[in-house]
C-alpha cells in the first residue's frame, strides 16, 4: 500500500474533526500514536488535554463557557498493563473495562454506536496498541451511521505486524460540511519518518489554524515499555 505524507494529508483538510493515528517509528524501536481534536463551536473549542496518570483527559479551558460536557469531556487515552487505548469519546472506558475482563475491543464496542448528535452522527473512532515481550500490534475501529441513519455500521482493522516507518490514521469527518460527512473507507496509510518532537510540531502545524484545539503524541519503546509524551493545547 502506498504511504502518504500525513502532514500534507491533514493540511489539505480544513476539518477532519478528531483523529487517531497509530503505527511504528522509522527506526522500528517505537510504537507511535497521536490523537487530535478540532472544534467549530465555542463549546468544542473550549478544551485542553491534561495528563491523568498514564493517560490524558479533556478539561474545559474556561469552565464558565462549558455548555454541554456530554460529548466533549472524556478520557481520550487510558493505559491498562501492556495496552494503550486511544479514542474520541467515553468508549475509552468501555474498552478499558472490557480488557480488564479479557474482552477485546471489537467485542466491547458491540454495546456502543456512533454519537447521538444528529444530523452529524459523529463516528466513534478507537484504537488499541498492545506491546508485550518485544512484540507490537494495534487495531483501529470506527462505528458510524449507516446510509439512512437507521443503524450503526461497525468496522475494525487489525495490524498484527506493523511496518517500520508506517502508520494508519482514521478521523471522524471527510471534511467540513453541514451536516458533517463521516470518514469513508479504510484508515489511511501514512509515512512516519520523524522523531516525537518533529512529528508533534508538524502535526500541529498541519491542522487548520482556526479549528485545531489539542494534540497528543506518544512514542512507546517496544523493548521496555517506557514512553515519551507531548501535548499541545490551543489554550496554553
Return the residue matching grid coordinates 501535548.
231
Is the torsion defined by CA of 111, 115, 116, 118 positive or negative?
A: negative
| Burial class of residue 183 (count of CB atoms within 10 Å of its CB; 0-12, 13-18, 19+) | buried
**Residue 70: predicted pLDDT:** 86
Q: Taking 80 as the threshold, does the pLDDT of residue 1 lie above it? A: no
pTM of this prediction? 0.97
Q: In this predicted structure, what is the pLDDT of residue 236?
A: 81
Buried-exposed string 47-75: b where 16+ CB fall within 10 A, e elsewhere? bbbeeeeebbbbbbbeeeebeeeeebebb
Q: Across all residues in the chain, what is the average pLDDT?
A: 96
Going edge to edge, which strands form the sheet with 152-159? Answer: 47-52, 55-60, 77-80, 83-87, 124-132, 135-145, 152-159
Q: How far apart are CA 160 and CA 139, in angstroms?
A: 8
Is the N-terminal amide bond of 119 cis, ω within 30° of 0?
yes
> pLDDT per residue over 61-113, tens digit each?
999 888 888 888 999 999 999 999 999 999 999 999 999 999 999 999 999 99
pLDDT, position 131: 98
Query: Is the confidence at residue 10, as pLDDT, over 90?
Result: yes
Q: List the one residue out of 163, 29, 38, 32 whose CA is nearest residue 88.
A: 38
Q: Which three cell numbers stand for residue 41?
A: 463551536
CA distances from 38 to 21, 35, 127, 214 (A): 15, 10, 18, 7
Q: What does the alpha-carbon distance between residue 34 and residue 202 come to, in Å, rounded to a whole number?
A: 12
At residue 95, the pLDDT reads 98
The percent of residues in the chain predicted with pLDDT above 70, rounded, is: 100
Grid coordinates of 234 = 490551543
Q: Are strands 166-171 and 188-191 parallel, antiparallel or unpaired?
A: antiparallel
User: Could you say which DSSP state residue 232 is in?
Assistant: E
| Dist. CA 87–CA 32, nearest whole Å | 15
Q: Which residue has the higher pLDDT, 231 or 1?
A: 231
Amino acid at each position: 500500500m502506498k504511504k502518504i505524507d500525513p502532514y500534507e494529508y491533514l493540511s489539505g483538510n480544513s476539518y477532519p474533526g478528531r483523529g487517531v493515528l497509530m503505527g511504528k517509528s522509522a527506526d522500528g524501536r517505537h510504537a507511535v500514536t497521536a490523537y487530535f481534536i478540532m472544534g467549530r463551536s465555542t463549546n468544542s473549542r473550549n478544551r485542553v488535554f491534561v495528563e491523568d496518570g498514564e493517560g490524558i483527559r479533556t478539561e474545559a479551558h474556561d469552565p464558565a463557557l462549558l455548555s454541554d460536557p456530554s460529548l466533549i469531556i472524556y478520557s481520550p487515552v487510558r493505559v491498562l498493563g501492556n495496552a494503550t487505548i486511544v479514542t474520541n469519546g467515553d468508549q475509552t472506558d468501555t474498552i478499558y473495562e472490557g480488557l480488564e475482563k479479557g474482552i477485546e475491543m471489537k467485542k466491547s464496542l458491540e454495546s456502543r454506536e456512533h454519537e447521538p448528535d444528529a444530523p452529524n452522527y459523529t463516528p466513534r473512532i478507537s484504537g488499541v496498541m498492545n506491546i508485550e515481550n518485544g512484540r507490537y500490534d494495534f487495531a483501529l475501529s470506527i462505528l458510524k451511521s449507516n446510509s439512512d441513519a437507521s443503524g450503526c455500521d461497525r468496522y475494525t482493522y487489525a495490524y498484527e505486524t506493523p511496518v517500520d516507518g508506517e502508520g494508519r490514521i482514521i478521523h471522524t469527518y471527510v471534511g467540513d460540511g453541514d451536516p458533517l460527512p463521516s470518514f469513508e473507507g479504510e484508515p489511511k496509510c501514512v509515512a512516519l519518518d520523524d522523531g516525537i518532537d518533529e512529528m508533534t510540531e508538524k502535526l500541529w502545524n498541519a491542522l487548520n489554524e482556526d479549528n485545531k484545539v489539542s494534540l497528543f503524541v506518544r512514542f512507546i519503546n517496544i523493548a521496555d515499555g517506557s514512553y515519551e509524551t507531548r501535548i499541545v493545547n490551543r489554550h496554553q
